[in-house]
Structure 1
Amino acid sequence: MLEVDGVDSGYGDVQVLDEITLSLSAGEVACLVGPNGAGKSTVLKTVFGLLEPWTGSVRYHGTDIGGLAPERIVREGIGYVPQTENVFGSLTVAENLRMGGVARDDDVETVVADLYDRFSILDDKRTAKASTLSGGQRQVLAFARALVMEPDVLLIDEPSAGLAPNTAQAVFDDVLAVNELGTAILMVEQNAREGLAISDTGYVLDQGRVAFADEADALLDDPEVSRLYLGG
């Protein structure tokens, strides 16, 4: 479904990614882990068109989408939930969800109504400003807003960042709920063990390169990966 093949990318003239290769299949959850500065978020930004690949290709259903504008990539079927500024704080929950569907050519209300059914906490908070939500509730809203376009693939950057452990676990449960809707997920997660625990496939990035790639369970059981990247 999604293939990143030999991609170099970065910011200005500063290279961050070095021949990154990874793939995502239909219905799969894949997690990118690794130390700060390894290039994890840069991978998502490059896939989503916020950065352009310098070399290599980003293919979606076999078509090269590298360098397309984010609004084109959303229409192609890829959603993105950034780590920060992922909701409009001054807008209500309902307004945020309608904003998520501005690129749709049909009636957005039917899709929004379905999301209220799936994420009941949002139904209870329809008229609340997003700025008044808890951290976990804001993440649910960010997921739901991205799902208004009914993407086949959702890119999620650090969903548990800044959350208390019990709230983070609830957010991981929501990630799985999104996946159960049939949406494949490529996720960056600093909380490596928990991120891999809910994933099918894992990639360990280090200094802009893929250091390890395997089934998520195998990475969790790998003594070298554990020692170097998972805290022993």
Structure 2
Amino acid sequence: MSDHVLSLSSVDSGYGEVQVLDDLTMHLDAGEIVCLVGPNGAGKSTVLKTAFGLLTPWEGTVDFHGRDIGGMAPEDIVREGIGYVPQTDNVFGSLTIDENLRMGGVARSEGLGEVITELYDRFPILDEKRSAKARTLSGGQRQVLAFARALVMEPDVLLIDEPSAGLAPNTADEVFEDVVAVNELDTAILMVEQNATKGLNISDRGYVLDQGTVAYEGTADGLLDNEEVSKLYLGG
């Protein structure tokens, strides 16, 4: 029996008439962190948007626990058990931290208070600032809030787009630690990260995308040690 919780098979996808993904196949297994790396325009963010229903695959399938969810509405995909943290606009700046978390749980029918309490225990910085407006948080703190808001629905899979974008190196390192902490909640993570080396360093496996398809795949250590991958995509 497959451990794949999420898989994209022979997927073509894009925007309008512009194709971005070309016969792309990849998977995410239970408990994994998988990092997508590659040059700008390779289709990394498009993978996440297609998996989350923001784009409908032109061809191929998106399977979650063996069920084809390709083209399903994002709000329904959230209920199925997939969370998404976009690179930008991932928190409501005019709302408090507590209000942001409650917004993340609008689709929950019960247990909202309990799960928010657990998230405050997991991320003490949010507990300390629960009445603060999200716009007053630092970049790293906003990312933590974005993670927590996506976790209110207790997803099996979390899709994260460029968690370190725009952050100072020390803050980025803290955010990567938070990604690992999220994974330790039994949440499988599919992550896009422009800082390929740091992204792969916390991952189990990785895919290198180029021109909308998988150019290389393997264990994170294997990709980091691959001289050709390092030269072409990791700045080595």
The alignment status of 1:77 with 2:81, answered yes or no, reads yes
Deviation readout 1:80-133 (Å, 9 max, x if unpaired): 000000000000000000000000011311100000000000000000000000
Tell me the TM-score normalised to structure 1 length. 1.00
Mapping for residues 188-207 of structure 1, pairs under 5 Å: 188-207=192-211
Partner of 2:49: helix, strand, or coil? helix
> Using the alignment, how far apart are the partners of 1:63 and 1:107 within structure 2?
26
> Using the alignment, how far apart are the partners of 2:66 and 2:102 within structure 1?
31
Over the residues paired in the alignment, what is the CA RMSD in angstroms? 0.4
The AA in structure 1 aligned to 2:180 is: L
Residue in structure 2 matching 1:24, options 28, 37, 59: 28
Partner of 1:205: helix, strand, or coil? strand
Deviation readout 1:132-172 (Å, 9 max, x if unpaired): 00000000000000000000000000000000000000000
Fraction of identical pairs, as percent = 76
Mapping for residues 74-223 of structure 1, pairs under 5 Å: 74-223=78-227
Uncovered stretches (5+) of structure 2, i.e. residues with no partner: none
The AA in structure 1 aligned to 2:40 is: N
Uncovered stretches (5+) of structure 1, i.e. residues with no partner: none
The AA in structure 2 aligned to 1:16 is: V
Residue in structure 1 matching 2:231, options 221, 227, 230: 227
The AA in structure 2 aligned to 1:207 is: Q
> Using the alignment, how far apart are the partners of 1:175 and 1:148 within structure 2?
15
> Using the alignment, how far apart are the partners of 2:111 and 2:226 within structure 1?
48
Deviation readout 1:197-220 (Å, 9 max, x if unpaired): 000010000111100010010000
The AA in structure 1 aligned to 2:147 is: F
> Using the alignment, how far apart are the partners of 2:59 and 2:18 within structure 1?
14
> Using the alignment, how far apart are the partners of 1:166 and 1:135 within structure 2?
12
1:55, CA displacement in angstroms? 0.3
The AA in structure 1 aligned to 2:137 is: L
Residue in structure 1 matching 2:45, options 41, 45, 59: 41
> Using the alignment, how far apart are the partners of 1:43 and 1:2 within structure 2?
12
Kindly tell me the number of residue pairs found equivalent between the two proteins: 232
What residue is the counterpart of 1:57 in the other structure?
A: 61
The AA in structure 2 aligned to 1:64 is: D
The AA in structure 2 aligned to 1:205 is: L
> Using the alignment, how far apart are the partners of 1:151 and 1:215 within structure 2?
24
